[in-house]
Chains A and B, each alone.
Chain A
Amino acid sequence: MALLELTVRNHPGVLSHVCGLFSRRATNVESVLCLPSPDGTSRIWLSVCDDARVEPLAKQLRKLEDVLDVRTPAPDVFERVERALRSA
């Protein structure tokens, strides 16, 4: 499992730009989490199964106009989300 953390401009089209890069390469996004920041940006966390595809995908993501930063590997936020959901 590979994890990515993106900082993006927060507007209605940005998620489809990001997800489109994965679907056109037949790569499944296993988990998604998106949180707005007070400065008008958002952070998106993504996890994908196929480790080998992450580096080329990160390069493609960096080309998107609305993607300001890409970090990979990134901290596993999904583990914590899952725990929180289980205890809820």
Chain B
Amino acid sequence: MSERSGAQIIVEGLERQGVSVVSGIPGGAILPLYDALSHSRIRHVLARHEQGAGFIAQGFARASGRAGVCLASSGPGATNLLTAIADARLDSVPLVCITGQVPSSMLGTDAFQEVDTYGLTVPITKHNFLVRSARELLDVIPRAFAIATSGRPGPVLIDVPKDVQTQTTPVECWPEPGRAASPPTVDTCAIEEAAELLESARRPVLYLGGGVVQSGAAELARALAERIDAPAVMTLMALGVLPSEHPLSCGMLGMHAARYTNLVLEECDVLVALGARFDDRATGLPEQFCPDARIVHVDVDASELGKIKQPRLGIAGDVRRVLEELLPKTRVMSRPEWRARVSELRRQHPLRLPGAHDPRTPYGLIRSVAALAGDDAIVTTDVGQHQMWAAQAYPLQRPRQWITSGGLGTMGFGLPAAIGAALAFPERKVICFSGDGSLKMNIQELATAAEEQVDVKIVLLDNHSLGLVYQQQELFYGSRFYASKYRGRVDFPRIAEGFGVRAWDLDTTSEPSALLRRALAEPGPGLIHASIDVDAKVFPMVPPGAANRDMIGG
């Protein structure tokens, strides 16, 4: 039996969980924990803003599938984390956030750097803890990991008052590390019913969501599509589940889908939603989404079934488990008529990528980078036009290759998430597509990238404006541009160099392809700057609140 402080229990708890890297920023209320961490083999990555620390942990989690861990102090440290936590919640990313808090005796007294972290994080976490004794930490740490990774993953916050970190307690035995609970068994009758629905379908479509990635069911989803000969659409979160050139892949659905993709959904008679939540950016006006379809909805979160669309058959279960049961119950089918119809729609309304062969256009730049980066590269994005262009044009090959902020749509996500992905896979190249609006929101993390020498290449599409806002003002607000163009210019290559990050500028070269090749071949962090036309648009576009058939452009 030996005495341990609360801080030591946290650190040993993290070690026992197999945590190899944490990101964070220290401050007064979390110094005992940092002191204990200094004796650990866990690698600490010092972020430059707590939101950066949160997104570094997210990038690690999204790339690896394991829980990401981040640390912050009380007060502003904790409030700065909130955006990254809310983002993890909406995209179901397993995250364990540990915050320092003022000593228990001062809780509620408006002490220095005191904020109600517990109260603030109630609506944005899967679960949260305010720890009241060092002893509790023995159970809280493993429970936090179990909750974060079980079922539908999500963020868990542990708020630890400073005196709880320093309090000592005898430790006789350690509880087992927290692991994801094995998913519940699947209702056999429901599987039979699903198989019958697929059998009776004439124009089925698979609608694949982030849950397919989370449950490790990409191979099975592909097998199902091939077995029943059904085309598949993917949400923004599921891109990569089917390789982009797979004959049954119809790419991304929704607001910025190719026209044919949304039109295929218009005609489908059975929609099989796997780990997808009928988000408004995917469905458009929900009443008019797949108007003729009977819906089979599989989700590990029972509250998603019937939340937006009433399914004919709802199955509360892990996608992988369900597909393992369902596949042997289905017959190998062939649907030449439906496939021909899908091909016809694709021919008539293809995805148009103007300029795809010219690296000085958005699509061309994305395609050129993809060709040079190779299939091993991980791709992160920020939020805005560049994100949608990349979603449309990047030839993704596998799940977890694509890391993007979908639900919350957080500008500033891309760079720190790329750092986190690079920490999880140091042997891989990470490409971060960003815009000038987004990059500025967490640009301080360039310092972290330089310090850690991660192999992250930022590809900056710079139009000196908030491009997607500008686009919406033109299309839906009578071209009354307001607060969407930056009047001041920023010299991004110089800024990057100031942080110790190499920079290349496509604007000043006559040979963009050669420059891209050189830049991407270089190891370590780098920024590739490319000015783009502010009038370039993301097309097609479904106006917010419209049905998916009402697409503009493309």
Chain A interface (Cβ < 8 Å from any Cβ of B): 12-13, 16-17, 20, 24, 56, 59-60, 62-66
User: A60 to B130, alpha carbons, bound, how many Å?
Assistant: 22
User: A65 to B123, alpha carbons, bound, how many Å?
Assistant: 13
A57 nearest in chain B by CB position: B303
A58 nearest in chain B by CB position: B303
Q: Indicate which residue in B123, B128, B130 contacts A24 across the interface (CB closer than 8 Å).
A: B123
Q: Indicate which residue in B118, B127, B128, B302 contacts A59 across the interface (CB closer than 8 Å).
A: B302
Assuming the contacts A16-B122, A20-B122, A24-B123, asked whether A63 and B128 have C-beta atoms less than 8 A apart, the reply is no
Assuming the contacts A62-B302, A63-B301, A63-B303, asked whether A20 and B118 have C-beta atoms less than 8 A apart, the reply is no
B119 pairs with A16, CB closer than 8 A: yes
A12 pairs with B130, CB closer than 8 A: yes
A61 nearest in chain B by CB position: B303
B123 pairs with A13, CB closer than 8 A: no
A19 nearest in chain B by CB position: B122
List the 9 closest A-B pairs by CB distance, nearest first.
Answer: A59-B303, A65-B127, A20-B122, A20-B123, A60-B303, A16-B122, A17-B122, A24-B123, A59-B302
18 contacts between A and B (CB under 8 A): A12-B130, A16-B119, A16-B122, A17-B122, A20-B122, A20-B123, A24-B123, A56-B303, A56-B307, A59-B302, A59-B303, A62-B302, A62-B303, A63-B301, A63-B303, A64-B127, A65-B127, A65-B147
Chain B interface (Cβ < 8 Å from any Cβ of A): 118-119, 122-123, 126-128, 130, 147, 301-303, 306-307
Please name all residues of chain A whose beta carbon is closer than 8 Å to the beta carbon of B119 when the two chains form the complex. Answer: 16
Starting from the known contacts A16-B119, A24-B123, A62-B303, 6 additional A-B residue pairs (CB-CB under 8 Å) come to A13-B118, A13-B128, A17-B122, A20-B123, A59-B303, A65-B126
Please name all residues of chain A whose beta carbon is closer than 8 Å to the beta carbon of B302 when the two chains form the complex. Answer: 59, 62
B147 nearest in chain A by CB position: A65
Please name all residues of chain A whose beta carbon is closer than 8 Å to the beta carbon of B118 when the two chains form the complex. Answer: 13
Nearest CB of B to A8, in Å: 13
Assuming the contacts A20-B123, A65-B147, asked whether A13 and B303 have C-beta atoms less than 8 A apart, the reply is no
User: A24 to B130, alpha carbons, bound, how many Å?
Assistant: 22
A24 nearest in chain B by CB position: B123
User: A63 to B301, alpha carbons, bound, how many Å?
Assistant: 8
B307 pairs with A13, CB closer than 8 A: no
B143 nearest in chain A by CB position: A65
Please name all residues of chain B whose beta carbon is closer than 8 Å to the beta carbon of A66 when the two chains form the complex. Answer: 127
B147 pairs with A13, CB closer than 8 A: no
B127 nearest in chain A by CB position: A65
Please name all residues of chain A whose beta carbon is closer than 8 Å to the beta carbon of B130 when the two chains form the complex. Answer: 12-13
User: A13 to B116, alpha carbons, bound, how many Å?
Assistant: 12
Please name all residues of chain A whose beta carbon is closer than 8 Å to the beta carbon of B122 when the two chains form the complex. Answer: 13, 16-17, 20
User: A24 to B122, alpha carbons, bound, how many Å?
Assistant: 11
Nearest CB of B to A73, in Å: 19
User: A59 to B305, alpha carbons, bound, how many Å?
Assistant: 10
User: A64 to B128, alpha carbons, bound, how many Å?
Assistant: 10
User: A13 to B122, alpha carbons, bound, how many Å?
Assistant: 9
A60 nearest in chain B by CB position: B303
Please name all residues of chain A whose beta carbon is closer than 8 Å to the beta carbon of B123 when the two chains form the complex. Answer: 20, 24
**Listed residue (B123, B128, B303, B306) with the most chain A CB atoms within 10 angstroms of its CB:** B303
User: A20 to B301, alpha carbons, bound, how many Å?
Assistant: 19
Please name all residues of chain A whose beta carbon is closer than 8 Å to the beta carbon of B306 when the two chains form the complex. Answer: 56
User: A58 to B126, alpha carbons, bound, how many Å?
Assistant: 16
Please name all residues of chain A whose beta carbon is closer than 8 Å to the beta carbon of B126 when the two chains form the complex. Answer: 65
A64 nearest in chain B by CB position: B127
Nearest CB of B to A53, in Å: 12
User: A16 to B127, alpha carbons, bound, how many Å?
Assistant: 12
User: A62 to B151, alpha carbons, bound, how many Å?
Assistant: 13
A63 nearest in chain B by CB position: B303
Please name all residues of chain B whose beta carbon is closer than 8 Å to the beta carbon of A65 when the two chains form the complex. Answer: 126-127, 147
Nearest CB of B to A15, in Å: 10
Please name all residues of chain B whose beta carbon is closer than 8 Å to the beta carbon of A12 when the two chains form the complex. Answer: 130
Nearest CB of A to B491, in Å: 43
User: A16 to B121, alpha carbons, bound, how many Å?
Assistant: 11
Nearest CB of A to B277, in Å: 13
Nearest CB of A to B158, in Å: 12
**Listed residue (A17, A56, A59, A62) with the most chain B CB atoms within 10 angstroms of its CB:** A59
User: A63 to B153, alpha carbons, bound, how many Å?
Assistant: 12
User: A63 to B307, alpha carbons, bound, how many Å?
Assistant: 14
User: A60 to B127, alpha carbons, bound, how many Å?
Assistant: 13
Please name all residues of chain B whose beta carbon is closer than 8 Å to the beta carbon of A60 when the two chains form the complex. Answer: 303
User: A20 to B147, alpha carbons, bound, how many Å?
Assistant: 19
Please name all residues of chain A whose beta carbon is closer than 8 Å to the beta carbon of B301 when the two chains form the complex. Answer: 63
User: A34 to B89, alpha carbons, bound, how many Å?
Assistant: 29
Nearest CB of A to B512, in Å: 48
Please name all residues of chain A whose beta carbon is closer than 8 Å to the beta carbon of B147 when the two chains form the complex. Answer: 65
Nearest CB of B to A57, in Å: 9
User: A12 to B127, alpha carbons, bound, how many Å?
Assistant: 14
